[in-house]
Structures are given as C-alpha cells and as structure tokens.
Amino acid sequence: AQKVTQAQTEISVVEKEDVTLDCVYETRDTTYYLFWYKQPPSGELVFLIRRNSFDEQNEISGRYSWNFQKSTSSFNFTITASQVVDSAVYFCALSDNAGNNRKLIWGLGTSLAVNP
Amino acid sequence: GAVVSQHPSWVICKSGTSVKIECRSLDFQATTMFWYRQFPKQSLMLMATSNEGSKATYEQGVEKDKFLINHASLTLSTLTVTSAHPEDSSFYICSARSVGGQGALRLSNQPQHFGDGTRLSIL
C-alpha cells in the first residue's frame, strides 16, 4: 500500500533561516510520481513540484530545492533564507498507480511558521 | 496556465439546504476531476474522483446520495451537498488534471491543479 509520512507536524523558524521539510514515502510501484504542494492561510493549494521515480536529480527553483533519494524513499524540501511569506502548510503527495485516475496519496502536512 | 476556478468561495446557509459547488478548468480540458474535503488543520481527504461522461467513483465512507457529483463536460464538475447539516461544514477543494501526454503516457504524469476551495458553513 502507498503511504506518505511527513513526520514534522509544525516547524517554527526565524526569517532567513534555512528549513528542510521531510517526506518519506512507501510504494510497491516502480513508476510513481511525487509532489509538493503549498497551502497558505488563505486555503488555496499551490503546486510546487512534480518528480517522477526515474529522475533522481535534485532540483532547485530560486530559494526552493528538493532532494529525491530512492534509496531512503525520501523527497525532502528545503527552503533557503526563509521569508515570512513562506509560512504555510506544505503537503507531500505520491501518485497512485491504479489505472489512469492517478489518485494522490497525501501526507498529513507540515505547518511552517516563519517569524520576522 | 492550468487555472482551476471554484465557485463559490464561501457559503453560509441553513440546515437542510442543498449547496452546489462548481469546479471549472479555465484554460485546459480535464477528463478527471477530484473532490476533496479538508477539516481544520488536517490533510486533504479525497471524497470522489469524477470522470467526464461517467459516474463518479466515491471513496469508502463517502455517501453518494449525500454528495452528488456531476462531470458533464471536460471543463466542469459540480459537487452538490444535499440537505446539508452542520456536520457537513468543511473546506471543500476540487482539482483537475489536464489531458496531456501521448499513448501510454497519456494522463500518466499530469499534476493536479487545484481550485481555491469553498468554505461551507451550515447553521
């Protein structure tokens, strides 16, 4: 069965600190996709990244970076020089390989508070 | 690109009222739309998967007669909460996956794009 674990329920940092959000997943599929979404206090979900299981290259997008390691089944997300606007709940998700519907298996989310 | 519009953004109504929430993909076609429910400080809970032109697939424990889903076109899915009661108060979010890719990869790797959600409060 697929499962996504975000062990950090809440993280609080001071602005400009670097912060890493952990995501560990379980799946028996050889082909799968991993996602990160951001949910700010206003509630909308913002897509951040999609990574397929065959691409283990780390990705950097501005202050955001992602470290995908199949050996440890982890897909961690790092925010460098955090800002107050980064305060949000961040969800890691895994795509289900059942048919074409591709349901997402969600982690419970990590609430990040960046304090000035 | 890949904008999903969800309407209304919030609803307050009396117990017993039926409430319809619309989810539209504005700049792409979506054969599959998803409906989620989110309780405060909790993760998203998938309620149902909606496929254009066919019946929705409901997750275990979700009442089909309570939460009616219609996916009449490639750009519109609706969720109707029938005879809503206070326990139905929640944040409802839809998402849509664009049609993309070719052959076996079709639909296989398109991310879900989310609407802004609907806050439903039943008095």
Render pLDDT for A28-73 as a digit per residue (tens, 0 to 9). 888 888 999 999 988 888 889 988 888 888 889 999 999 999 999 9
**Is the minimum CB–CB distance between A8 and chain B shorter than 8 Å?**
no
Burial call B21-35: b when 16+ CB within 10 Å, e when fewer: bbbbbeebebbbbbb
> What's residue B104's pLDDT?
40
Which pLDDT tens digit goes with each residue over B39-98? 988 899 999 998 888 889 999 999 999 999 998 888 999 999 999 999 999 999 999 987
Structure tokens at A72: 């440890």
Contacts of B106 in chain A (CB under 8 A): 100
> What's residue A24's pLDDT?
98
> What's residue B72's pLDDT?
83
Instruction: Evaluate the CA torsion angle B58, B60, B63, B65 in order and state its sign.
Output: positive
Across the A:B interface, residue pairs with CB atoms under 8 Å apart total 55
Band (pLDDT 50/70/90 cuts) for residue B2 is confident
> What's residue B3's pLDDT?
87
**Is the minimum CB–CB distance between A111 and chain B shorter than 8 Å?**
yes
Please enumerate in sequence order all residues whose Cβ is within 8 A of that of B118, keeping only pairs 6 or more positions apart, or say none.
B6, B7, B8, B9, B10, B11, B21, B91, B92, B93
Residue B104 CB coordination number (10 Å): 7
Question: Which of A104, A108, A110 best probes binding to B when mutated, by most B CB atoms within 10 angstroms?
Answer: A104
B46–A103 CB contact, under 8 Å: yes
Q: Are B84 and B123 in contact (CB under 8 A)?
A: no
Which pLDDT tens digit goes with each residue over A77-102? 999 999 999 999 999 999 866 544 56
> What's residue A97's pLDDT?
60
Beta-sheet strands, E only, within chain B: 4-7, 10-13, 19-25, 30-38, 44-51, 57-58, 67-73, 76-81, 90-98, 112-114, 118-122
Which pLDDT tens digit goes with each residue over A27-38? 988 888 899 999
Supply the mean pLDDT for chain B. 87
By Cβ distance, the residue of B46, B57, B114 closest to A45 is: B114
Rounded to 5 degrees, φ, ψ at A29 are -75, 150
Which pLDDT tens digit goes with each residue over A9-18? 999 999 999 9
- DSSP code per residue over B57-77: EEPTT--TTTEEEEEEETTEE
A100–B108 CB contact, under 8 Å: yes
How far is Cα of residue B82 from the mean position of the Cα atoms in its chain?
Answer: 15
User: Which tops the pLDDT comparison, B99 or B74?
Assistant: B74
Mean pLDDT of all residues in B18-41: 91
Residue B55 CB coordination number (10 Å): 12
Band (pLDDT 50/70/90 cuts) for residue B108 is very low
Residue in chain B closest to A10 (alpha carbons) equals: B41
Closest CA to B79 of B21, B18, B8: B21
Band (pLDDT 50/70/90 cuts) for residue B106 is very low
Contacts of B102 in chain A (CB under 8 A): none
Contacts of A47 in chain B (CB under 8 A): 111-114
Residue A11 CB coordination number (10 Å): 16
Contacts of B97 in chain A (CB under 8 A): 102
> What's residue B100's pLDDT?
56
A100–B115 CB contact, under 8 Å: no
Contacts of A43 in chain B (CB under 8 A): 91, 93, 116-117, 119
Mean pLDDT of all residues in B17-34: 92
Mean pLDDT of all residues in B22-32: 89
> What's residue B102's pLDDT?
45
